[in-house]
Amino acid sequence: MGPGPPARASSTELSFSESQGSRSAQQQVACAAELRKVHEAFAWFRSHARELEDLQLEVTSIAAPPWDEAARSAWLKERFSDLGLTDVHQDELGNVFAIRPGTDPNAAYIALSAHIDTVFPAGTPIEVRRDAGKLYGPGISDNSSGIVALLAIAGAMQAANLSNAAPLLFVGDVGEEGEGDLRGMRHIFQQPKWSATIASLVVLDGAGTDTIIAEGLGSRRYEVTVRGHGGHSWSDFGVANPILALARIIDRFASTPVPALPKTTYNIGLINGGTSVNSIPESATMKVDTRSASVEQLDRLEIALHEAVDAIISDGAGRKKQELLTAEVRMIGNRPAADLPVDSQLLKAIRAVDAQLNNASRIQRASTDANVPLSLGREAIAIGAGGSGGGAHTVSEWYDPTGRDLGLKRILLLLLALAGVVDE
Ligand SMILES: [Zn+2]
């Protein structure tokens, strides 16, 4: 489909305007839900249920470890092209883009994204299977279900020949998980080409229909390394031991009080160091994750971590054999905390869609790709791709497609509410 013509005088464009309140948002969504072509798109979701499951198993079988998503980027690019979307391309990081032009030549993009990376390191055995109606495989829900929803929305719109007023931008982005630290989405919003043209972003992340992530959870991550001289466990006994020092740092840091509200957490998720049982180690490292809705609490934990390190490392400064211990604290992740304003168009639109579909949902706080535009003062939310899932970030992850079409209807109606739909 090429760039659409401007809306004809005889067609009616249903979309929001700045002055419209939530009641009118409700009417707009109700009108869109009545359109014949929208019903055709809904029917497409049901008639393609099996194909969508096959796609989900297929994409899950393509490894996409952090920093190495190239094979999956190539796969997604092909799928976008097969669907007849325009300007299908990828950027230097591996983010994949496709456009569905709108009828309004002046409108900004409404973007729909799904992260394509997984948490599983290269070499993780990937076994995908279908069993008793459920799908299994590492990443099958987070975020293969999101990727499939992206393709389902585009596929149904193409099949039903729906006319969106604002152009739609479909994005499969890299580097969302863990130490990827949202690098894909950050890069996109660093490009004026996109940051100046995306009006709002809807992020699809994982299964479900019952949440609206409109509050970005801030997180900061650190790698702490303690280094020493090392030596033989017998003959060099007494030489400062980095593993012991690290253990004492952990103990001290973990005694930092955190408030229940705003919820603030810390985790030591990984430690390593040493070479053998009879060697005094030369180094020990840990990775620390801190999270809070409040920047002040993140600051406080950061200070506490540095204090713990300094206190333990300087503890033996006067003693000869302790002098060789050094420590380094390196920030390896920093996700901004920010909230979507309650009176935003996007929040009104998703509320109206949920009312239309009789879908009970609640606002939640989480760390997703939506953090990036939210921290720039832009409109963004993250929602689920429908169905249900569990065991996220484990190799026994599962996805149950029961009820997927509710999630897909929700996404489609939201996009049409934001972009406007032309009733021809
Ligand atoms: Zn995810």
Distance 86 CA to ligand 1 centre (A): 26
Distance 109 CA to ligand 1 centre (A): 23
Distance 112 CA to ligand 1 centre (A): 14
pLDDT for position 202: 98
pTM of the model: 0.82
Do domains 12-216+338-423 and 218-335 share one topology? The answer is no
Cα–Cα distance for residue pair 395/299, rounded to 1 Å: 34
Distance 296 CA to ligand 1 centre (A): 26
My answer on whether omega of the bond before 262 falls inside 30° of 0, hence cis, is yes
Distance 288 CA to ligand 1 centre (A): 20
pLDDT for position 14: 55
Tokens 């660093």 sit on residue: 190
Distance 167 CA to ligand 1 centre (A): 25
DSSP labels for 136-189? ESTTTTTTHHHHHHHHHHHHHHHHHT--BSS-EEEEEES--SGGGTTHHHHHHH
Distance 28 CA to ligand 1 centre (A): 31
pLDDT for position 9: 36
Distance 209 CA to ligand 1 centre (A): 15
Distance 388 CA to ligand 1 centre (A): 14
Task: For the chain, give every domain's residue range.
Answer: 12-216+338-423, 218-335
pLDDT for position 4: 36
Distance 107 CA to ligand 1 centre (A): 29
Distance 170 CA to ligand 1 centre (A): 17
Which CATH code of 3.40.630.10, 3.40.50.12780, 3.40.190.10, 3.30.2270.10 fits the domain covering 12-216+338-423? 3.40.630.10
Beta bridge partners of 170: 98, 112
Distance 205 CA to ligand 1 centre (A): 5
Distance 348 CA to ligand 1 centre (A): 24
Distance 183 CA to ligand 1 centre (A): 14
Distance 422 CA to ligand 1 centre (A): 33
Distance 236 CA to ligand 1 centre (A): 47
Angle at 103 between CA 101 and CA 108, to 5 degrees: 65
Helix (H) or strand (E) holding 398: strand 398-400
Distance 385 CA to ligand 1 centre (A): 11
Distance 119 CA to ligand 1 centre (A): 9
Distance 176 CA to ligand 1 centre (A): 7
Cα–Cα distance for residue pair 258/300, rounded to 1 Å: 9
Distance 140 CA to ligand 1 centre (A): 10
What count of residues does the chain have? Answer: 424
Class of domain 218-335 (CATH, top level): alpha beta
pLDDT for position 105: 86
Distance 187 CA to ligand 1 centre (A): 18
Strand-strand pairing, 198-204 and 379-383: parallel
pLDDT for position 10: 40
| Three-class SS of 178-223 | HHHCCHHHHHHHHCHHHHCCEEEEEEECCCCCCEEEEEECEEEEEE
Cα–Cα distance for residue pair 286/271, rounded to 1 Å: 4
Distance 115 CA to ligand 1 centre (A): 7
pLDDT averaged per 10 residues in sequence order, the chain, 424 residues: 36 49 80 96 98 98 96 98 98 98 95 97 95 97 98 98 97 91 95 96 97 92 96 93 96 97 94 96 97 91 97 70 81 88 93 97 93 93 98 93 98 97 84
Cα–Cα distance for residue pair 372/211, rounded to 1 Å: 19
Distance 361 CA to ligand 1 centre (A): 19
Closest C-alpha to 143, from 166, 172, 165:
172
Distance 21 CA to ligand 1 centre (A): 32
Q: What are phi and psi of 96, to 5 degrees?
A: -110, 135
Look up residue 165 and give its two tokens: 């007023």
Distance 352 CA to ligand 1 centre (A): 25
Distance 280 CA to ligand 1 centre (A): 40
Instruction: Answer whether 55's CB lies under 8 Å from 123's CB.
Output: no
Distance 177 CA to ligand 1 centre (A): 7
Distance 297 CA to ligand 1 centre (A): 24
Distance 161 CA to ligand 1 centre (A): 30
Cα–Cα distance for residue pair 383/42, rounded to 1 Å: 18
